[in-house]
């Protein structure tokens, strides 16, 4: 039984599908032909380049170095190379930081060392041992300074703290200013017009500059011209500033308190006087010596030490406490005294002894008897000058025996040991070191600075500058 329900439908025709595939193929071929046509036409439109536009063989090779490659062709950094590169950068950064830290540490150490040195110096506890390193002196480069204005014996020296300028005085009325860079006189002045004893007609005498000192800031120069007065000069402009009156006899010694304008003076009137140069006025007098004062010295503390000449005593004046400490040890006249540091000092006298003292003990720690030998008649060669480098163990002494002797304060400043002898001619009337202790200045003369009872004809009236050689300096010189 046939029914329309069971009739099969006619299959759909594939013409449309075949046609679409054929159309796609035909479209692709047409695009291809059109692109080829466009390419050929554009190629025909381009101009033909000449031979000059193409680089030669060498230029082509050179230009190959400038060729850049794509990331695919370039050699890529491996993880190991990257770690190595980063490690090197890290090490370089650490080195830079450590160098900066080392510089900071070095600067910090230098600053701390300087602060510690200044503190110890201020409280008088700084100690430097330099005497053991001295290994002689420079004989070939010994400097001798002479001038026609100072043809008589030299008596006193004053060295500026920087060691560049030296003032010299002698048994003439002239003071000379020496430039130690070229060892030439750069100025001079005459003290005779300011000798007020002559102006008043009280005493006819010739000016002798027997004592001089200069302030730490090089602002004032004080001198004693063998009279009762003290003259104050400007060391830079060489101008007279003031004349102090007050002593009743000849002023024999002068010293400035360190880093101040406080001046101490000693005189044959047996007194020590204090002057303020800030106010240009007299302050007070200190009495106690039984004879004329022959030497005086001071450091930073408000105190002074003086030698009493024929009374054979030394006295430390505690100014603020208005008290004094007395020391006895010399058998004859005491000529000079110097502070080695705030706790120790040295003294010398006509008995030929050089004594080392502690401020805490009444007796000397060490006495070098006949330190400069004896004369033909058996008398001791009395010491005419002493000097020391403050806060060190180096000491110098002079006499008329023909030698300047250097000493070391060894065994914690309990003993004296001679380390060097330097030959000179005449009386050693003044000695001074520079601050480093590398140079020694000596004022020589045919006569003693305070009299004419003995004359050494072989002596020379001159200044001698001695360069001391340290161990390392000697090694470098031998090279």
413 phi/psi in degrees, rounded to 5: 60, 45
| DSSP state for residue 15 in the 8-state scheme | H
- How far is residue 466 from each of residues 284, 433, 441, 461, measured CA to CA in Å? 39, 10, 6, 16
In a domain, 111, yes or no: no
* Same domain, yes or no: 137 and 261: no
User: Given this model, what pLDDT does residue 479 score?
Assistant: 44
* Same domain, yes or no: 142 and 257: no
In a domain, 440, yes or no: yes
| Strands ordered across the beta sheet of 262-267 | 251-256, 262-267, 271-276, 281-287
Helix (H) or strand (E) holding 399: none
* Same domain, yes or no: 276 and 354: no
* Same domain, yes or no: 333 and 474: yes
Computed from CA positions of residues 453, 457, 463, 468, in that sequence, does the dihedral angle turn out positive or negative? negative
Number of structural domains (the chain) is: 2
In a domain, 302, yes or no: no
CA distance 346 to 432: 14
User: Given this model, what pLDDT does residue 367 score?
Assistant: 94
* Same domain, yes or no: 155 and 142: no
* Same domain, yes or no: 333 and 464: yes
User: Given this model, what pLDDT does residue 363 score?
Assistant: 92
What's the whole-model pTM score?
A: 0.75
* Same domain, yes or no: 361 and 425: yes
Q: Which residues are CB-neighbours of 188 under 8 A, at least 6 positions away? A: 149, 174, 175, 176, 177, 238
* Same domain, yes or no: 381 and 444: yes
Largest CA distance in the chain: 182
* Same domain, yes or no: 167 and 142: no
Our measurement of the distance from residue 259's CA atom to the centroid of its chain's CA atoms, rounded to an integer in Å, reads 16
* Same domain, yes or no: 138 and 191: no
The CATH number of residue 474's host domain is: 2.130.10.10
For residue 400, what are the domain limits?
129-146+329-478
In a domain, 218, yes or no: yes
- Kindly state the tokens that stand for 159: 């060295």
In a domain, 371, yes or no: yes
In a domain, 87, yes or no: no
Closest C-alpha to 298, from 397, 189, 216, 409: 216
| Under-50 pLDDT residues of the chain | 1-8, 11-22, 24-26, 28-74, 198-199, 473-479
């Amino acid at each position: 039984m046939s029914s329309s329900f069971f009739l099969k439908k006619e299959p759909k025709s594939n013409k449309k599908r075949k046609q679409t595939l054929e159309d796609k193929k035909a479209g692709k071929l047409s695009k291809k032909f059109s692109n080829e046509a466009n390419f050929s036409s554009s190629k025909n439109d381009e101009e033909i380049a000449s031979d000059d536009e193409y680089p030669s063989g060498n230029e082509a090779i050179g230009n190959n170095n400038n060729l850049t490659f794509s990331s695919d062709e370039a050699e890529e950094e491996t993880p190991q190379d990257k770690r190595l590169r980063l490690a090197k950068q890290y090490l370089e950064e650490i080195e830079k930081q450590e160098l900066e830290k080392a510089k900071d540490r070095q600067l910090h150490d230098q600053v701390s060392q300087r602060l510690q040195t200044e503190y110890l110096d201020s409280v008088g506890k700084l100690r430097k041992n330099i005497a053991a390193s001295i290994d002689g002196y420079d004989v070939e480069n010994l400097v001798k300074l002479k001038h026609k204005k100072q043809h008589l014996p030299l008596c006193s020296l004053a060295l500026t703290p920087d060691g560049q300028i030296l003032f010299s005085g002698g048994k003439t009325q002239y003071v000379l200013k020496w430039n130690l860079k070229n060892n030439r006189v750069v100025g001079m002045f005459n003290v005779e017009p300011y000798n007020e004893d002559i102006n008043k007609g009280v005493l006819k005498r010739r000016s002798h500059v027997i004592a001089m000192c200069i302030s730490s800031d090089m602002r004032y120069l004080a001198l004693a011209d063998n009279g009762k007065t003290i003259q104050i000069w400007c060391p830079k402009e060489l101008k007279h500033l003031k004349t102090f009156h007050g002593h009743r006899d000849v002023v024999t010694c002068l010293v400035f308190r360190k880093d101040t304008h406080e001046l101490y003076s000693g005189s044959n009137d047996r007194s020590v006087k204090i002057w303020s140069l800030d106010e240009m006025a007299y302050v007070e007098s200190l009495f106690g010596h039984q004879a004329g004062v022959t030497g005086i010295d001071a450091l930073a503390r408000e105190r002074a030490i003086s030698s009493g000449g024929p009374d054979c005593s030394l006295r430390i004046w505690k100014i603020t406490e208005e008290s004094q400490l007395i020391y006895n040890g010399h058998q004859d006249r005491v000529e000079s005294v110097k502070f080695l540091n705030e706790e120790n000092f040295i003294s010398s006298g006509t008995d030929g002894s050089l004594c080392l003292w502690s401020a805490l003990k009444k007796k000397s720690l060490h006495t070098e008897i006949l330190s400069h030998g004896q004369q033909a008649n058996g008398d001791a060669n009395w010491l005419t000058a002493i000097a020391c480098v403050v806060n060190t163990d180096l000491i110098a002494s002079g006499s008329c025996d023909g030698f300047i002797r250097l000493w070391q304060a060894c065994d914690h400043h309990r003993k004296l040991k001679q380390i060097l002898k330097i030959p000179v001619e005449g009386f050693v009337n003044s000695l001074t070191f520079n601050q480093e202790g590398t140079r020694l200045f000596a004022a020589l003369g045919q006569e003693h600075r305070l009299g004419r009872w003995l004359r050494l004809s072989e002596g020379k009236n001159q200044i001698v500058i001695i360069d001391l050689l340290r161990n390392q300096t000697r090694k470098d010189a031998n090279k």
